[in-house]
Structures are given as structure tokens and as C-alpha cells.
Homo-oligomer: A and B are copies of this chain.
Amino acid sequence: MSDAIADAVRRGELRSVARLITRIEAGDPTIAATLRDLHAAAGNTPIIGITGPPGAGKSTLVDQMLARYRANGERVAVLAVDPSSPFSGGAILGDRVRMNRHNTDRGVFIRSMAARGRLGGLAQAAADALVVLDAMGWDRILVETVGVGQNEIDVLRHADTVLIVQTPAGGDTVQAVKAGILEVGDLFVVNKADTGSADRTVSALREAIEFRTHALGADAWHPPVPKTAATDNQGIAELLTAIDAHRRHLQDHPEQLALRRRAQARARVTEHLAEILRSRYLQPTNRSERFEAIIDEVVARRCDPSSAAARLLHD
């Protein structure tokens, strides 16, 4: 039996989609069947993840990418994931500005999201929202996030192609990139290339990338480092070509795409495991006597939290 909301989503009813994503944000457990149906229908839309530090010009870049995809006749969904919410209210991502520009275009869907009270956190909510959009059959999905902390890296894990947006910022850039970001990037975009020492940034990034890529073997993807100046609409076509090249690389190396998909699935299942545990133990109605007895010991400092968790799993 098919789920009514899932059917409406697959028919492209945007109001149903918007409502469903709101319920995902809120952590509504009654949509599990809907998500199950949509998961079965998803998996065919290229998902492009975009991240970078605040001020790197991600919003403008996404906007220009969107305009160019639209000019090519593609239907595109944008998910803007804001980990700094609830304080910022999404303003960081420039959502409202873009909404205005593409307001009347039925070939564009733009949605920002924040994790309001969801136990599993924003990455899980974003992953569910991506499944919803994926099942709708857009030609592309762009998922944009600010960061990058672990939460953001978790969001990017669900993209097939990950763009790390940098700016020409002197020697710091490369050092910052070293710390956990190199591993997740498929393209390193040097935006605002008309300012500062863009070429130095590009070559420093290339060096760091090649160092990583050589460790990965002959068939590894070599992340390109395109330069853009999004505010002047410069370099966007070349960027889209590089994105398509990455997609073709994955198609030509199905074993690499399969590894990525398995990693995505592992992360999602493991996070769901954690979410089930959280709701099992953190909801007052779900607490067991045994759990509470162990909490007593932690509060009394007779047992530390790590040992308590191990005892709960092994008893």
C-alpha cells in the first residue's frame, strides 16, 4: 500500500513537499512510512553539496549556478542547511534574496532548514529532506551548508559531488583546509578570484590535494581547483563543466560510486541507531528502571558516563 503524502510528493505537489520538510525538521515520528516510500523511489538525482566558511560567497555562487542550470532548461532544487540556527534564522544563507529572484519559476524549489528540537540533529533531517527532493525527480539538487564542523561534514556526506568554496586569503587557507576538509572535497572552488592572491591559493590547494590524491591510487579523482568570481558571474560555466566531469568520473568508476553510496548508507543507519537510542533513553516516558539506576550512579560519581554506556550495552 502506498503512502498518500509520498504520492503527492512524487507528483511534485510543492505544498506537500514543504509541509513534509517542516515535519522532518520537527522530528515528527509519524512520517516514517512516508520516508520509507520515498527512500525506495530516490537515488537517481545528482546531489551537489556546497560548503565553505562564512563570507566565501556561497549564496551568490549557488545563485549563479542555479541561473545557469535554469538557462539550460534543468529543473533544480536547493536545500540550504543552516547549522547556526535558531539564532540566525537562515539569513546567513541569503535564502530570502534568492527566493525573490526565483519566486515565480516552477522549475526551481528553494528551501532552507534548521534542526528545531530534533533529537538526531540537523544532518539527519537534511538527509531525509534530500531523500524527499531526490524522489521528486529534479534534474539536480544543490545542498548548501555553512561551516564546516562535523555537522556540516555529515550533511555533505549525502552529496555525490562536494564543492568546498574558499577565498584568496593568504597562507591561512591551506592550513585550514588541512584539518579534515581535504578528505570530503571533490572540487575546491576559489571564489572572489578577482580579489587577493587567488593564484597562490589555487596552487597551495593543488599541492595539498595532490598529496592526498597520490595516496589513493591510480583511479582516484583529482579534485580540480576552479576559480570563480560569482558576483561578476565569472567562471561559472567552467565550474559546471568540472562538476559534470566529476559525475562522469563516478559513472566510469562504479566501484567508487558504490563505496560512496555504502558510506552514505552506513552513516544514515548508524545515525538512526543513535537516534533510536536517544529517544529510548532521553524521553521521560521511555526510561527504564535499569537506565535510571545507572544514571543515579553517574550523578553520584560512582560511575563515569562512558563506563555507564558500556554497561548498558553489555549487560
Contact = CB atoms under 8 A, between A and B. Distances in A.
A313 interface: yes
Contacts of A85: 149, 179
A266 B176 CA distance: 35
Interface string A294-315: 1100110110111111101100
Contacts of A122: 149-150
A203 to B, nearest CB: 20
Interface in A265-311: 265-278, 281-282, 291, 294-295, 298-299, 301-302, 304-310
A258 B302 CA distance: 16
B261 A299 contact: yes
Contacts of A271: 305
Interface in A108-130: 114-118, 121-122, 127
Contact of A265 (B42, B261, B274, B299): B299
Given A273-B277, A301-B42, A308-B272, A267 B282 contact: yes
The dominant DSSP class at the A interface is helix
Interface stretch (A33-41, A191-199, A207-215): A33-41
A175 to B, nearest CB: 7
A88 interface: yes
Interface residues of A, number: 72
A269 B309 contact: yes
A53 interface: yes
A180 interface: yes
A42 B127 CA distance: 38
A247 to B, nearest CB: 18
A115 B150 CA distance: 7
A52 B265 CA distance: 35
B276 A309 contact: yes
20 contacts: A32-B306, A36-B307, A40-B304, A43-B301, A53-B84, A53-B87, A83-B151, A86-B179, A86-B181, A89-B179, A116-B180, A117-B180, A149-B151, A261-B299, A265-B298, A266-B282, A269-B298, A270-B309, A272-B310, A274-B274
Interface of A: 32, 35-36, 39-40, 42-43, 52-54, 83-89, 114-118, 121-122, 127, 146-151, 172, 175-176, 179-181, 258, 261-262, 265-278, 281-282, 291, 294-295, 298-299, 301-302, 304-310, 312-313
